[in-house]
């Protein structure tokens, strides 16, 4: 299930609030480089740069939100993260991590899960 733009933006707002409460510093939102896609949130967890994908779902019909972050999406985020690090002159100088924030609304309840180090990217 493709999340609607309004659901995606709403989920990102919730994720930013949630991460800020956990002490993350939000550096970028909806960061993109040309037509290569975007990274929902780029934040710092202490000295670590964290690239965060947010998935919001209102139904389990098409699976759990985190299941929407498949291998092709992971590769896309990895390519964008590399560009970001190069542009900020941080490539090879900063530790980074890839997280997913999953937001699911079922039965009138909001279930939010933050998966730290959700996937790894081959540096090649």
pTM of the model: 0.87
Structural domain boundaries, residue 76: 5-115
Is 77 a domain residue?
yes
77: domain CATH number?
3.40.1350.10
DSSP state of 66: G
Residue-by-residue pLDDT tens, the chain, 124 positions: 455 557 678 889 999 999 999 999 999 999 998 888 999 999 999 999 999 999 988 766 666 656 667 788 899 999 999 999 999 999 889 999 999 999 988 888 888 999 999 988 865 5
3-state DSSP assignment of residue 120: coil
Is 34 a domain residue?
yes
Is 124 a domain residue?
no
Residue 48, strand partner residues: 45
**Biggest alpha carbon–alpha carbon distance for the chain:** 46
């Amino acid at each position: 299930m493709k999340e609607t733009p309004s659901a995606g933006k709403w989920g990102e707002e919730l994720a930013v609030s949630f991460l800020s409460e956990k002490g993350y510093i939000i550096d970028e939102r909806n960061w993109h480089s040309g037509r290569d896609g975007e990274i929902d949130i780029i934040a710092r967890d202490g000295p670590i740069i964290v690239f965060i994908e947010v998935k919001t779902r209102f139904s389990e019909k098409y699976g759990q939100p985190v299941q929407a972050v498949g291998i092709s999406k992971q590769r896309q985020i990895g390519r964008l993260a590399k560009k970001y690090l190069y542009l900020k002159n941080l490539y090879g100088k900063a530790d980074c991590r890839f997280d997913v924030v999953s937001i699911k609304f079922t039965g009138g309840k909001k279930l939010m899960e933050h998966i730290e180090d959700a996937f790894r990217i081959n540096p090649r």
